[in-house]
Amino acid sequence: MTRVDIAILVLAMAGTATLYMALWQPGGSAARYATVRVEDETVLRIDLRRDGVHAVEGPLGTTRIQVSEGRVRVTDSPGRRRICVRDGWLDRPGAATVCLPNRVVVAIPGTTETELDGITW
């Protein structure tokens, strides 16, 4: 290995370390707010930098939402299986959870809006 090689290696490692720090921050890179929709209508836009609890009314009752440390979760929602409650914390852009019985969708919008999540063959 020449000196230039070692310099390239050091630069590459420093760059990768910087990327780790930038992209692996707790709370995600750009999760700034979450939207809550009830029956496809946005009823709430929650600032994730402010901790607190919120409640929205759906057709079956109240869905409770908690914000803490830049993350958001559903703490209670009517419905037998409570999938959105068990989903836990959402902290990254693009993350979403759905309380289907109560027609509530909690989502952190991504930076790009696309029709497809992914393509595979």
Using CB under 8 A, list all residues that contact another protein: 1-5, 8-9, 12-13, 15-16, 19-20, 23-24, 28-30, 92-95, 110-112, 114, 116-121
Residue 117 CB, nearest approach to another protein (Å) = 6
The H or E element containing residue 18 is: helix 3-23
Nearer to another protein, 91 or 101 (CB): 91
Instruction: Please name which of 36, 31, 48 lies closest in space to residue 92, comparing C-alpha atoms.
Output: 31
Buried b / exposed e over 41-80, threshold 16 CB at 10 Å, is eeebebebeeeeebebebeeeebebbbeebbbbbebbebe
Nearer to another protein, 40 or 115 (CB): 115
Nearer to another protein, 9 or 100 (CB): 9
Q: Which residue has the tokens 């509530």?
A: 104
For residue 33 the two structure tokens come to: 């707010």
Nearer to another protein, 78 or 93 (CB): 93
Residue 39 CB, nearest approach to another protein (Å) = 25
Residue 69 CB, nearest approach to another protein (Å) = 18
